[in-house]
Amino acid sequence: MKSDSLLMHKRDIRDLSYPELVTFLESLGQEKYRAGQVFDWIYKKGVEDFEAMLNLPQPLKEKLKEDFSFQALTMIQRNVAADQTTKFLFTLYDQQRIETVLIPAKDRATICVSTQAGCKFHCQFCASGIGGWDRNLTCAEIVSQILFVKKQCADGQPLSNIVFMGVGEPLDNYDALIKAIRLINSVEGTHLGARRITISTCGLVPQIKKLAKENIQVELAVSLHGSNNDARNVLMPVNKKYPVPDLIEACKEYIQTTNRQITFEYILIKGLTCTQQAAEELGQLLAGMTCKLNLIPYNPVAEFAHETPSKMEMLLFHDKLTRLGLHATVRMPRGRDAAAACGQLRHSHI
Ligand code: SAH
């Protein structure tokens, strides 16, 4: 038992960036190309065992085993929905639970990744915040979700997109998130194009400004969900700290610095968010911005009393926005029978 618990605390090697691994190996007197070999096994071949790294000398394998582990995640449940959306529930070394979703399409697959165990922001429609926040995920815990789920993709179904839309607020775990993105994006790592990676945020203004200067070509999605301060305060308490005008100003700055568009996510809740007034306010708020609007039908969570609008109401709201000159699309939910809305599966286990 004692050796088990010691093993638990051994650092997962997927916490190391490529330069960090090079430095570590050089400190052992190893050649730099060994780092490339290790990365190749981990990120290209998906190996989770130093012994299986056949082109490494035995003493180096032993040393790596001594210092590092592959223990970030243990899968404990897998729910497959009728549309093949698959939700994985994992435990971490400290018994925390996180969830990851695989959303397959005809010839590609998207992975929805968690960045925190729980969430601090208490959006009043989201299951992730109900149990509060426990801790940030490490870089290895973030990257391992992708490596694990990628292996589950059927043949001929390449991983095409990664969306940081699972449990937690990605920009509240900024350093681990950026490190994980660089591992996924780099030539030495998974080498997935940055434009195929989307970060979704509840609107943390300082981090949006910081991200603008990061020089990575990721997609940014901002959860707006309210067309003015009063409406947004009710649904997203984070608005009291970063109100709508400050958020929009940060988004404009982001668009200008990066020359990239922003996607605004906007939840459709019956009688609340899809009114004529909301449409007009959104039209004014987003006028002239390089952005699109993703309308997300509310996915029912037992703890909240909201209702999903009828299809007709959603289409009418979409139509109003289009007439006001906004580029809006309605995103139809996937995997409802796999409890695939943010945090639903995790929440059902705590
Ligand atoms: N913390 C990030 C990631 C959250 S999940 C953020 O706030 O953006 C990604 C999206 O799903 C967010 O826009 C979030 O507001 C939305 N979402 C959460 N719960 C939902 C629900 N029950 N129905 C519909 N959308 C939901």
pLDDT in tens, 194-205: 999 999 999 999
Nearest CA to ligand 1 atom 10: 165
Write the pLDDT tens digit of every residue in 86-108: 999 999 999 999 999 999 888 88
Is any ligand 1 atom within 6 A of the Cβ of residue 208?
no
Predicted pLDDT at 345: 59
Spatial separation of the C-alpha atoms in residues 94 and 319, rounded to whole Å = 48
Spatial separation of the C-alpha atoms in residues 42 and 72, rounded to whole Å = 13
Q: Is the pTM of this model over 0.85?
A: yes
Instruction: For residue 99, indicate whether it is catalytic.
Output: yes
Predicted pLDDT at 340: 56
Task: Tell which one of 125, 126, 218, 270 to mutate to probe ligand 1, the residue whose CB is within 8 A of the most ligand atoms.
Answer: 126
299 Cα nearest atom in ligand 1: 23
Is any ligand 1 atom within 6 A of the Cβ of residue 223?
yes
C-alpha distance from residue 250 to each of 59, 61, 320 (Å): 51, 47, 26
Instruction: For residue 342, indicate whether it is catalytic.
Output: yes
**Tokens linked to 183:** 């591992």
Is any ligand 1 atom within 6 A of the Cβ of residue 296?
yes
Catalytic residue among 48, 99, 188, 265: 99
Helices H / strands E in the chain, number of each: 12, 14
Nearest CA to ligand 1 atom 2: 201
